[in-house]
Amino acid sequence: MSARDRSHGEQRVILVAEPEVSDALIETAPDLEIVVATPGELTRRAVDLRSRVAVWAAPDADAGLQAMTALRAARTAARLLYVTPPEAERERLAALEAGVDEVVTRPISIRELAGRIRLLLRRARPVRRTRLPVGDGLELDLDRRQLLRHDEWIHLRPREARLLELFARSPGRVLTRDHILEKVWGPNHDGDPRTVDVHVRWLRAKIEPDPHDPVWLLTVRGVGYRLETLPLTER
């Protein structure tokens, strides 16, 4: 993944277009964070990278319609811009009915295309953070309440998910057992604080390379636990 792909994405645009169009747009609009995708990648990358705008400007209007429709069905927050050949009236009407934000007809200049993208960026909804990093290649998906390691889903019990979210939202901060009990089990919980230790042990089995020698979810002796932002081997 490039440095562009790792940035927070406030100006991120996923683009499918011929090389001459994508190259010209990148040169003309250096303020935009443009990620070029193949037709088959558009939907997946727009969702995975939480892009603000997705643009189809490739010649195949039918494939573009399918991609735009799939993106809208995926309920992505991205605004959609669909550029079609002049003869593709059927595809343009179908795209509008499917909820595509803007449909334009070729020919269109690179400057106008950049201007329309910037307009959609201003209209775009704020990006809602749906995944939190919790380790090397690990993310907590806040919608599914499950752990994702690359393309593999790891099951979490509901209490495990709440506990991991608490750590992931406070990386590097030491959390006491009492604080964890209050936030995860509730203020009226009067159980044994060692309950926290048991759940931490279960979490380590799922996020640590070696649960017996943790590098992410660390014990702070006599106090509680903290989630490291870097493993001990890289500090």
Query: Could you state, in order of their start, the residue ranges of all structural domains in the chain?
Result: 3-123, 131-234
Q: Please, which pLDDT band fits residue 139 given cuts at 50, 70 and 90?
A: confident
Instruction: Give CA–CA dist 74/224, Å, rounded.
Output: 40
211-221 pLDDT per residue, tens: 999 999 999 99
* pLDDT for res 123: 83
- CB of 225 closer than 8 Å to CB of 180: yes
Decide if pLDDT at 108 tops 50: yes
Tokens 């500090």 belong to which residue? Answer: 235
Decide if pLDDT at 87 tops 50: yes
* pLDDT for res 233: 46
Q: Please, which pLDDT band fits residue 50 given cuts at 50, 70 and 90?
A: low
Lowest mean pLDDT among 23-32, 62-71, 147-156: 147-156
**Identical topology for domains 3-123 and 131-234:** no
Domain range 131-234, CATH class: mainly alpha
Helix (H, G, I), strand (E, B) or coil at 188: coil
Q: Which CATH architecture is the domain 3-123 placed in? A: 3-Layer(aba) Sandwich (3.40)
Decide if pLDDT at 9 tops 60: no
Decide if pLDDT at 141 tops 90: no
Instruction: Please state the pTM of the whole predicted model.
Output: 0.52
Instruction: Give CA–CA dist 178/186, Å, rounded.
Output: 10
Decide if pLDDT at 124 tops 80: no
* pLDDT for res 11: 67
13-44 pLDDT per residue, tens: 989 999 999 999 999 999 898 999 998 888 87
